[in-house]
Amino acid sequence: MNRPACTLIVALGIGWALPLRAQDPPVVRPDTMPIADTIPFEPPSPRGAFLRALAVPGWGHLHIESYTRGAVYFSLQSASWFMLVKTLRRLDEVKDRNGQLTALARDSLAAAMAADTMLARVLQDPAAYEAALLTYPGLRDTRSLVNARRQQRQDWITYTLFFTFAAAVDAYVSAHLKDFPAEVIAEPGSSGGLTLGVQVPVGTKH
């Protein structure tokens, strides 16, 4: 092969190599690669909202971003817990007072029975002995107050459980209907129970 032929072949090789080289994709360093600025949205879990509402007042509604309803239930639950704790403390105080007066009444009856054998025979009957105890000043009123405080404790336990369960159910339902165009209303009734309602927007908003 002569020299001009070799030169032509080399030139053709270069001509074919340059276009192929130009078509190679550019090299991008890992530290310069773009990062997606969006994160896939995951709707709130109804079960998670339910459990959160049971654990902490208002947490379930905070989880589903229902702040107004969460504030309402937080207020109701906090108030019921406050009254329950307050009633328990008052019950303990009046029970201590009842115990002190009962001990004084027993000592008084024991002294009277020791001095009067006829009275001792009469007070051997448990019913008569209990009736004699209640004649001690202040003991009857204190025992009545103990019973009243116990009833108040039962009432506030019921209210606290009701508001807690109502908040959990409302958070669960609201999480299920998060993307529903209507607004579901679930509020505690004034005389107990749960009031449910639905508000559906009508027409278009300009």
pLDDT in tens, the chain (206 residues): 545 444 444 444 444 444 444 455 555 565 555 555 555 556 678 899 999 999 999 999 998 988 999 999 999 999 999 999 999 999 999 999 999 999 999 999 999 999 999 999 999 999 999 999 999 999 999 999 999 999 999 999 999 999 999 999 999 998 888 766 555 566 666 666 656 565 655 555 54
Of 95, 93, 91, 53, nearest in space to 70 by CA: 53
Q: What is the pTM of this model?
A: 0.63
Residues 163 and 76: beta-carbon distance below 8 Å? yes
Give the domain ranges of the chain. Answer: 44-176
Q: How far apart are CA 126 and CA 109, in angstroms?
A: 13
